Amino acid sequence: MQLVCPAGNLPALQAAVDAGADAVYAGFRDETNARAFPGLNFDDDTLRTGIGYAHARGAQVYLALNTYPDSARLPLWEAAVDRAAALGCDAIIAAEPAVLGYATRRHPGLARHLSVQGSATTAPALRWMHERFGIARAVLPRALSIQQVERLCESSPVPLETFAFGSLCIMVEGRCQLSSYVTGASPNRHGVCSPAKFVRWDEHDDGSRSVRLNRVLIDRFAPGEPAGYPTVCKGRFAVGGEVFHALEEPTSLNTLELLPRLARAGVVALKIEGRQRGAAYVGPVTRTWRTALDRYAADPERWRSQPEWELALSAHAEGHQTTLGAYHREWH
């Protein structure tokens, strides 16, 4: 299975490649990608450097164009497809049919991967995308159980990629009504949940900190308590007289124990989430998964997840805890 790792900047790209990534995925410095945080992503010169670095070491580079333009802004996404082709990207990762259609017409030799934002969860949906846009791969949503993934692998007309590690989204892969409700900015149109311009941190005399999103209080942290990037879904709220993570606790997906089952099902690529994270995250996480995949390839029958691998991944997980998410659900 191919190991596909995040690159929010050039150091992270280099760290992923050096740690054994088969491919990295990156985005331009604008709203065409779903991680449009300030200070992240690539301009043309930096991406050209990153592509050269990856290709020289046998790795591929995929460009995420996975947000949804409206009709007035579609030329920005079309120009991004042109730039990806000119720079030598190995594939684009897109969700919007207009973007996929443009790439199909203008750059038929540029591989097209269906983004997780496309939310294709059935064989007919995958078949339609394949017939209409010639997608070479589809990234499955993290809302599927392992049984559903296995059945899709049996019936899909295209190779499938699944998320292996990283942050979870409780919405339908970024189609968030929470962030839109609080800020008026859709993550799938503007490329980020909790845009930085809406975030306000306040320091208090007792050493605690509170964070507001567009003036709405979403969390308060005790002195010394670690705090991640503030999102509505992982905030703490007063419900029924109790303050707690009412929607979702900070935790990361970790499917390491399912690696043999995903391999037997025919999953062709495992994806690490985290373009908003730096090289200190990308390097160790990639290295751990590279070791696990190499061990499995060498001796699949006797492969077992090792405690040191789980510890290494937990150290880089949100809230330092991990979950199998929907993969282990009983429902099919």
Please measure the distance between the N-terminal and C-terminal CA atoms of the chain and give it in whole angstroms: 24
Domain segments of the chain as ranges = 2-168+251-328, 188-244
Where are the extended beta strands (E) located within the chain? 2-6, 23-26, 60-65, 91-94, 111-114, 137-139, 160-167, 199-203, 209-213, 216-221, 237-239, 242-244, 252-254, 269-272, 322-323
Instruction: Encode pLDDT of 213-254 as tens digits.
Output: 999 999 999 999 888 778 898 899 999 999 998 888 888 899
> Which of 161, 168, 153 is closest to 22 using CA atoms?
161
**Which residues lie closer than 8 Å to 220 by C-beta, 6 or more apart?**
208, 209, 210, 211, 236
Query: How much is the pLDDT for 331?
Result: 57
Helix (H, G, I), strand (E, B) or coil at 164: strand
What whole-number distance in Å separates Cα of residue 223 and Cα of residue 115? 39
**Which residues lie closer than 8 Å to 100 by C-beta, 6 or more apart?**
94, 112, 114, 129, 132, 133, 135
What whole-number distance in Å separates Cα of residue 279 and Cα of residue 282? 5
Q: For the chain, what percent of residues have pLDDT higher than 90?
A: 76
> Which of 40, 35, 93, 87 is closest to 63 using CA atoms?
93
Cα 127 from chain centroid (whole Å): 23
Helix (H, G, I), strand (E, B) or coil at 163: strand
Burial class (CB in 10 A: 0-12, 13-18, 19+), 212: middle
Instruction: Say how many C-beta atoms besides its own lie within 10 A of residue 95's C-beta.
Output: 25
Confidence at 332, pLDDT banded by 50, 70, 90: low
- Global pTM value: 0.92
What whole-number distance in Å separates Cα of residue 4 and Cα of residue 145? 21
What whole-number distance in Å separates Cα of residue 329 and Cα of residue 320? 22
Instruction: Encode pLDDT of 283-311 as tens digits.
Output: 999 999 999 999 999 999 999 999 999 99
| Average pLDDT in the chain | 93
Confidence at 176, pLDDT banded by 50, 70, 90: confident
Q: Which two tokens stand for residue 122?
A: 């059935």
**Which residues lie closer than 8 Å to 41 by C-beta, 6 or more apart?**
8, 9, 26, 27, 28, 29, 30, 33, 35, 275
CATH superfamily of 2-168+251-328: Aldolase class I (3.20.20.70)
Buried b (16+ CB within 10 A) or exposed e, 110-136: bbbbbbbbbbbbeeebbeebbeebebe
Query: How much is the pLDDT for 175?
Result: 73
Instruction: Encode pLDDT of 251-271 as tens digits.
Output: 889 999 999 999 999 999 999
Point out the least confidently predicted range of 48-52, 102-106, 174-178, 186-190. Answer: 174-178
- Check: CB of residue 178 under 8 Å from CB of residue 154: no
- Check: CB of residue 262 under 8 Å from CB of residue 2: no
Axis crossing angle, helix 123-133 with helix 146-155, rounded to the nearest 10: 40
Query: How much is the pLDDT for 122?
Result: 94
